[in-house]
Structure 1
């Protein structure tokens, strides 16, 4: 009796894809946006305000200490949605569905070589697994913040690079540039959406480009080899465009005046100064600040705000540590500089922070200030051996947090805060509703019986997915490692090596992201493991489990 092999025609495939997309968007239609007007000036409000300025033709608006503090692709996205009259949450879900479909087609080369109709079933299955991934509808996506689209942008990049690599090996006669263009769009937009995207995306891009370049050079596919520059050219064009806009409006040729340039140099210099404090999370403790104030007169005016002003300390100081955490200090000192008029314009701020950096570094080099590191240009804590154990432990915790799909509830437990005018302004711009209604006698958000029923179904699916993802990833790891055993040796070809390296790279880059977030958590934030910062890892593990099990998890035929 022949084994049952499900098959799917082209028309049925696209009909089912359309139905799945409609269902995914319908689920998102039951969700509501969460905002806290007045409570998120560094995040959601910053992005919303910048989007409104873009709509008004003012780029990011009048310059202050926050204007260039973050990568600003997300306000461009919001302004685009507003111009097209598209609802915010639905548009984010549609962007995610597009990334999921691209990723499913990227890997389809692995299983569509022999049986096209059966391959469509697997492609549809991978698309469904990604489109309905619970992390893509978790509560963090309900904020008006850049992480609503960042995982999708990253998935476009990874899908484009994977699709290019697999087609370079299995179907070299087909053009690679569409996949490279998709990867370039994801790379450029992701890089412009978050400051840490480059550390996450560029290592994978570089490794994939080198491996594919070796394969293409061996086949003398020079046009395809030349096309490898497409993602990097698109990244360069995107960065150049934003830097030019910033220079035109503010006189600073940079993506950000926070994570690069003179402010980063000043923060790196401050963190050079030795300290007697052993408290965790502190980058520039109180005793180090006192030494710096004495050595750098330019910083003395900021001392009042940082050490005495009640409002600024209430906003940024950690009462448990009685000091500023690393993840808060740089915001506090920038606001103090704003109060002193240093952010009157970008050139003034740039010159001020460069002077601070130069004087601190000179004092450290001369021995006037005690130094614990060499010169640095960074807003992050110096990497030291003391952080290794806690970073490894948090990396492990973050990895299991992802596998078990924790904190993926499709609703926000906090009620939106703002006046009626605030809600009208935000709703009018974003074309969506907010969870501002409260349960009777409580300060918790009200959800209708229909919403609660849909949310219950989504949470039930989350529990099923957590089991499938955990078992799938663990089995895929074991199956892939089994390929290295001596008794499984086989002739190495591009068609056997490249897929193995691709899956190894996907799993490795997922662990890298966990480690990156873990280091920031244990050195600067201390806020606990967050699904929002790890949401780019979930789709990578789905891809790894799905493709890994199909490639290496099936029984092998034994030659007689």
Structure 2
């Protein structure tokens, strides 16, 4: 909030400065108070998400790194378990700490654009709009022990810091060391949280290249070395953080890698399975049963897994089933043993392709965990893209109302011990989403159930707080589509104006400022 105080107080009288800061501080505390009414939803999911993060965090907290090695030890990013373990030592509720990280990211993003947006009132409005974004308190993503929320905050921090460096360089201002350091750390945090965080890399690289081009074109010999060093520093910090995690894995398990989904032999084996063409495809199924039957016939290594694989597995769930099958076959005693098995499997399958024993999809290219592109993917990809855009514009299906936990008492105890949050144990939500209530429900859309809930003695104020968050969600659902349309029009107008200005300069026409 100190950043925000400095930004919003710039060029303002002292009284106005204090009043603006006080208002933002009150709104921030109000936002945190509202979201603190949400309850945690505990989902075991066979130890692939919530429980896996918690188990890793427990091991880290007890000094055992990620625990004993098995097929699930190195398949998830390590940053979120580190975050949970650190939060456990701090002693704050996990859901609150995650919201505090988001508040910090919002403040940094406003600070980043301060030289570009001079009006402190506009900056304050932008901060409030960021702060009450319904995607940051929807129960689907924020009331579970999953990494998406922290990854989003780290990504916002990285992009904001990169924007801050670019804006200050473009405005011919010095770049403080805090921006590249924070960018490097937050970029590493996002990268080490999710395996698919590579999508942010092109943006950061492109902006860095543009900054370097600006330095070269301006030919400031004295400042160029320092500026180039500042621009390169985030990537050095990012590399150091990755090397540190890989080194810890090497010390604990004998493999210098941050994540086994990036292990070459595993990727080669998985991509070979994914490009088996049987003449028939099933939507959302990368490796069909028919493809597995053909692989069994040509690969003795894969045939060992036949007793442990069955049915048609949709989506990326097959990767988990594959790793579980390899573990059941006895190959996950160590990373070296697992890697050797996947190398043998990939060699046998690729040899079968070369001999014509297996048919490959035409023009297929191995791209990590991505299956070969097929023409049938075009329409679903477009539909999914449009659905994602629609979700981010309309906040469709966002709801702050908590959902009940799955019944697994041992897991509930672990959740509450590690996170200092109380889990919702009702068979139905204690505070129910108005859109899901039966028509006979009275009141203002909030009901209280008489179930085995730990919140039975909670005051009605808790439900009212969640109701207020729901009202904010409804407000965003109405306003944001209009604001998005206006933003697109403004962007088009500014782009056309920039093009016309450049053409006039090329023709020797002097364009007056403003």
**Shorter-normalised TM-score: what interval?**
0.7 to 0.9
CA distance in 1 between counterparts of 2:453 and 2:290 reads 43
1:324 is aligned to 313
Contact 2:51–2:411, Cα closer than 8 Å, also in 1: no
Contact 1:260–1:377, Cα closer than 8 Å, also in 2: no
* Count of residues paired in the alignment: 469
Counting only pairs closer than 5 Å after superposition, residues 397-412 of structure 1 correspond to structure 2 as: 397-412=387-402
1:288 is aligned to 291
Contact 2:34–2:468, Cα closer than 8 Å, also in 1: no
1:306 is aligned to 309
Contact 2:112–2:161, Cα closer than 8 Å, also in 1: yes
Deviation, structure 1 residue 283:
1.3
For residues 6-58 of structure 1, the C-alpha deviation after alignment (integer angstroms, 9 at most, x for no partner) is 98733334333322221122112211111024x34111111000000001111
Distance 1:225 1:9, change over 3 A: farther
1:466 is aligned to 477
Deviation, structure 1 residue 490:
2.0
Distance 1:54 1:135, change over 3 A: same
CA distance in 2 between counterparts of 1:433 and 1:446 reads 9
CA distance in 2 between counterparts of 1:86 and 1:79 reads 11
CA distance in 2 between counterparts of 1:97 and 1:135 reads 13
1:395 is aligned to 385
Which consecutive unaligned segments of at least 5 residues does structure 2 have?
Answer: 1-10, 431-448, 505-511
2:232 is aligned to 229
Confirm or deny that 1:418 pairs with 2:408.
Answer: yes
Counting only pairs closer than 5 Å after superposition, residues 105-184 of structure 1 correspond to structure 2 as: 105-112=111-118, 119-139=119-139, 140-170=141-171, 172-184=172-184
2:487 is aligned to 476
Contact 2:281–2:288, Cα closer than 8 Å, also in 1: no
Confirm or deny that 1:203 pairs with 2:202.
Answer: yes
Deviation, structure 1 residue 487:
10
CA distance in 2 between counterparts of 1:350 and 1:192 reads 21
SS in 2 for 1:472: helix
1:427 is aligned to 416
2:66 is aligned to 60
1:216 is aligned to 215
CA distance in 1 between counterparts of 2:415 and 2:286 reads 36
Counting only pairs closer than 5 Å after superposition, residues 72-83 of structure 1 correspond to structure 2 as: 72-83=78-89
2:446 is aligned to none
Contact 2:403–2:424, Cα closer than 8 Å, also in 1: no
CA distance in 2 between counterparts of 1:275 and 1:436 reads 46
1:531 is aligned to none
Contact 1:364–1:370, Cα closer than 8 Å, also in 2: yes
Deviation, structure 1 residue 65:
0.8
Deviation, structure 1 residue 375:
5.8
CA distance in 1 between counterparts of 2:263 and 2:483 reads 40
TM-score by length of 2: 0.86
TM-score by length of 1: 0.79
Among residues 18, 23, 27, which one is paired with 1:16 in the alignment? 23
SS in 1 for 2:156: helix
Among residues 29, 38, 63, which one is paired with 2:36 in the alignment? 29
Deviation, structure 1 residue 151:
0.9
Give the RMSD, CA atoms, in angstroms. Answer: 2.5
Q: Quick check: 50-59 or 222-231, which moved more?
A: 222-231
CA distance in 2 between counterparts of 1:74 and 1:263 reads 23
Among residues 92, 98, 108, which one is paired with 1:86 in the alignment? 92
Q: Quick check: 52-61 or 389-398, which moved more?
A: 389-398
CA distance in 2 between counterparts of 1:343 and 1:490 reads 63
CA distance in 2 between counterparts of 1:185 and 1:13 reads 30
1:263 is aligned to 266
Deviation, structure 1 residue 293:
0.8
Deviation, structure 1 residue 558:
11
Contact 1:6–1:121, Cα closer than 8 Å, also in 2: no
For residues 261-297 of structure 1, the C-alpha deviation after alignment (integer angstroms, 9 at most, x for no partner) is 2111110011122212222112111121111111111
Distance 1:479 1:409, change over 3 A: same
Distance 1:180 1:487, change over 3 A: closer
For residues 107-127 of structure 1, the C-alpha deviation after alignment (integer angstroms, 9 at most, x for no partner) is 121222xxxxxx222222111
CA distance in 1 between counterparts of 2:405 and 2:106 reads 31
Q: Quick check: 436-445 or 180-189, which moved more?
A: 436-445
1:362 is aligned to 351
Contact 2:161–2:182, Cα closer than 8 Å, also in 1: yes
Deviation, structure 1 residue 202:
0.6
CA distance in 1 between counterparts of 2:169 and 2:497 reads 28
Contact 1:296–1:356, Cα closer than 8 Å, also in 2: yes
Distance 1:70 1:425, change over 3 A: closer
1:47 is aligned to 53
CA distance in 1 between counterparts of 2:468 and 2:259 reads 42
CA distance in 1 between counterparts of 2:51 and 2:111 reads 37
CA distance in 2 between counterparts of 1:20 and 1:330 reads 44
Contact 1:267–1:377, Cα closer than 8 Å, also in 2: no
Deviation, structure 1 residue 162:
0.9
SS in 1 for 2:304: helix
Which consecutive unaligned segments of at least 5 residues does structure 1 have?
Answer: 113-118, 308-316, 318-322, 494-556
Counting only pairs closer than 5 Å after superposition, residues 491-506 of structure 1 correspond to structure 2 as: 491=502
Q: Quick check: 217-226 or 126-135, which moved more?
A: 217-226
Among residues 319, 328, 331, which one is paired with 1:339 in the alignment? 328
For residues 178-207 of structure 1, the C-alpha deviation after alignment (integer angstroms, 9 at most, x for no partner) is 222222222110000001101x21111011
Contact 1:177–1:230, Cα closer than 8 Å, also in 2: no
CA distance in 2 between counterparts of 1:492 and 1:434 reads 62
